[in-house]
């Protein structure tokens, strides 16, 4: 039984459960106290008594969070109440339930459904914003397109670059402030706004969408997600972070690790396609595709950590802020390669291959240690 437990733990990449810090592929958030978690899929399936700090590819809040929620992910869905403030950053953000505090949300697509009630102030930035439901305090929206049919008990401010749609069943009981390009046609249905309607023209610079990109090819949301997810992983897996990529600089290891990374990229999909042919092995093929996708995700995410360890190695004696600072700097330096045409993309691809190879190298080293200790 002991060997089985160690084998299962080993096969769950980057998984840790110490206090309320969690990291892994699929995580159910610890409901006791404040919870910190990062992974591919992160879910709240039991009521959480404290704050939650979650980062991942997909985040689902399916049970109540009693305190604040800080979320960052490609897809974030909130299906249960948040007891206090909500701060969320991501690609697609969907809020289907109540939030008792303030809401700050930045995403490519932000949707607040009619079932929601937001008790505090709201600030939302994104490309596409659709908000309904009830809003008890002031609301500020900034994006390319905005659509609403909600109930606003106080003022609503909207700054858009492309389009704004206010549905006839919207109810704005305060003032409506619109900041749009001068040439944009805006229709405000009669009787929707009980206060004043004020319109102001955007300057040319204000309605350029380039502000979403700090670096060509790298959006603010992408970079921020990397910082948050990678930062939580480093805090959860300090030993792994400090040792990651340490064998890469040894003589003869560069090409071997690069080769391992290359095989990690091409071998699983080829094998999965072959497994799809017999009907009995289709579930194995699907599982292999999922594992391959997760590996590529973590390879991309940890590339900044590999760069950091090569240029200014992380050490166990470093403070948490020093570790995070080195990781952030390595991530930014890697992202700057997007500026260099062709060569930059090639270097980023090579770093990703080396990252995948280093992850597998680390796992194989852990496997050998467990074998020597007679746990496997």
- Please say whether the beta carbons of 22 and 16 come within 8 A: yes
Q: What are the structure tokens assigned to 234, written together? A: 């480093």
Q: What are the structure tokens assigned to 30, written together? A: 């610890």
Please give the torsion angle defined by the CA atoms of residues 46, 48, 53 and 55, in that order, rounded to the nearest 10 degrees.
Answer: 10
Closest CA to 225 of 284, 300, 282, 153: 300
Beta sheet of 151-152, edge-to-edge order: 117-118, 134-135, 151-152, 171-172
Q: How far apart are CA 70 and CA 88, in angstroms?
A: 6
pLDDT at 13: 39
Q: How far apart are CA 75 and CA 88, in angstroms?
A: 10
Residue 170 C-beta-side C-alpha neighbours within 13 Å: 26
- Please say whether the beta carbons of 114 and 133 come within 8 A: yes
pLDDT at 251: 66
Closest CA to 31 of 15, 47, 51: 47
Return the SS3 of 91: strand
Closest CA to 261 of 360, 163, 344, 342: 360
- Cα→Cα distances 303→15, 100, 128, 353, Å: 18, 38, 30, 9
Name the helix (H) or strand (E) containing 322: helix 320-336
In the DSSP assignment, the letter for residue 48 is: B
Domain coordinates in residue numbering, the chain = 58-212, 237-372
Q: How far apart are CA 47 and CA 35, in angstroms?
A: 11
CA 309 to mean position of chain CA atoms? 23
Tell me how crowded residue 286 is: count the other CB atoms within 10 A of its CB. 13
217 φψ region: left (φ > 0), alpha (ψ -120 to 50), beta (else) = left
pLDDT at 158: 94
Q: How far apart are CA 227 and CA 36, in angstroms?
A: 14
**What DSSP string describes 93-140?**
EEE-S-BSS-EEEEEEEEEE-TT-EE-S-EEEEEEEEEE-SEESS-EE
Walk along the chain (376 residues) and give the pLDDT tens digit of each residue.
333 333 333 333 333 333 466 766 788 998 888 888 877 788 999 999 999 988 778 899 999 999 999 888 889 999 999 999 999 988 899 999 999 999 999 888 999 999 999 999 999 988 899 999 999 999 999 989 999 999 999 999 999 989 999 999 999 999 999 999 888 888 899 999 999 999 988 875 554 544 444 444 455 666 776 777 777 778 777 788 888 887 776 666 888 888 888 888 888 888 877 877 776 777 777 777 777 877 787 787 788 888 888 888 888 788 878 888 888 888 888 877 777 777 878 888 888 888 888 888 877 766 666 566 555 5
pLDDT at 376: 53
- Summarize the chain as % helix, strand, coil (round to 5): 40, 30, 30
């Amino acid at each position: 039984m002991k060997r089985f437990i160690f084998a299962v733990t080993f096969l769950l990449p980057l998984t840790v459960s110490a206090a309320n810090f969690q990291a892994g592929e699929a995580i159910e958030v610890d409901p006791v106290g404040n919870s910190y978690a990062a992974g591919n899929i992160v879910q709240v399936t039991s009521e959480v008594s404290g704050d939650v700090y979650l980062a991942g590819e997909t985040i689902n809040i399916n049970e109540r969070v009693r305190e604040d929620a800080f979320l960052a992910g490609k897809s974030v869905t909130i299906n249960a109440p948040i007891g206090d403030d909500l701060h969320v950053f991501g690609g697609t953000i969907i809020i289907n339930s109540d939030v008792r505090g303030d809401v700050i949300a930045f995403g490519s697509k932000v949707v607040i459904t009619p079932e929601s009630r937001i008790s505090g102030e709201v600030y939302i930035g994104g490309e596409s914003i659709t908000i309904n439901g009830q809003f008890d305090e002031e609301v500020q929206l900034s994006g390319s397109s905005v659509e609403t049919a909600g109930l606003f008990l106080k003022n609503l401010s909207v700054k858009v670059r492309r389009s704004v749609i206010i549905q006839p069943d919207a109810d704005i009981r305060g003032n409506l402030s619109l900041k749009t390009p001068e040439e944009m046609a805006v229709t405000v249905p009669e009787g929707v706004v009980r206060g004043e309607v004020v319109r102001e023209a955007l300057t040319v610079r204000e309605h350029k969408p380039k502000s979403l990109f700090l670096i060509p090819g790298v959006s603010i949301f992408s970079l921020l997600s990397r910082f948050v997810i990678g930062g939580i992983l480093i805090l959860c897996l300090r030993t792994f972070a400090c040792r990651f990529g340490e064998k890469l600089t040894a003589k003869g290891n560069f090409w071997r690790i690069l080769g391992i990374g290359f095989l990690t990229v091409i071998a699983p999909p080829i094998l999965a396609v072959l497994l799809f042919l017999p009907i009995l092995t289709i579930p194995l093929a699907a599982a292999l595709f999922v594992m391959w996708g997760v590996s590529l995700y973590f390879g991309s995410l940890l590339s900044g950590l590999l760069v950091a360890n090569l240029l200014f190695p992380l050490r166990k004696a470093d403070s948490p802020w020093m570790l995070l600072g080195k990781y952030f700097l390595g991530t930014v330096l890697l992202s700057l390669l997007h500026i260099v045409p062709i060569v930059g993309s090639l270097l980023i691809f090579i770093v990703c291959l080396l990252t995948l190879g280093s992850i597998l190298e680390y796992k194989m080293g852990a496997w050998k240690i467990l074998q020597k200790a007679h746990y496997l």
